[in-house]
Amino acid sequence: MSADLDALRDALLRWYAKERRDLPWRRTADPYAILVSEVMLQQTQVARVVPRYLEWLARWPTAAALAAASRAEVLAAWVGLGYNRRALALHAAAAAVARDGWPEDLRTLPGVGPYTAAAVASFAFGAQVAAVDTNARRVAARLGHGPPDALVPPGRAADWNQAAMELGATVCTARTPRCGACPVAAWCVSAGRPAAPAASARRGASERFEDSNRWVRGRVVAALAKGEGLPADIAAERVERAVVGLVRDGLVRRVDGGFSLG
């Protein structure tokens, strides 16, 4: 088992060194820049994040710079990335770091959960911990060699975490894993087995994003960021429901009979 695990690790790390995508957050060990990337990447595609990440760091290159920005500025800069509460959590985390420095337990920062804490710890601070996102968890489950933390090679946590996430994102995908292209198929107990369809695929296309309250919330935030007021092309009751939630969540506030961000 140990020899197989060592061979698996070596194969995946060699594949990653050759095939990894050149993503900007992989070129830095700055914990603030890595935190920005991890928060942006939560439920947002890499292709959408890359230009926004670069723009964000050009505008706010340090935690102190972001902390000095207003909530409205931060929300306006976040438009299009979705889940706007992430922006406020990142803003609050930057304020905490600017005030107190980086804490030993990164989970004490606003909006930082176990995965994000492990990612920043391993990529920025060299901590030997498994950063287990959806992709890494799926890879470990399919490989069948134990839980994700048991796969991390000694002294190579950062490289392994990146490699496992890269494999899950590009080869060992949820719906159509490409086992023929997988560098660790020889050690995988699931190789060649058909994947179960994802839950979203089973639901079908009947649930349109445009019919969701989240879509309306995004439209409201985008409109206010441009100074346009509330969207007039959406049913008033849908806009009102979205605004009530946005005010409750601290993303929008009432001012002078109208609304503004933050």
Q: What residues act catalytically?
A: 38
Structure tokens belonging to residue 159: 């490289």
Please name the residue that has the structure tokens 């919330």: 217
In whole angstroms, what is the distance from residue 131 CA to residue 246 CA? 31
Instruction: Report helix, strand or coil for 226.
Output: coil
Q: How far is CA 5 from CA 28, 100, 103, 157, 216, in A?
A: 29, 41, 34, 15, 48
The strand ranges marked E within 93-191 are: none
In whole angstroms, what is the distance from residue 130 CA to residue 250 CA? 33
- Do 42 and 189 contact (CB within 8 A), yes or no? no
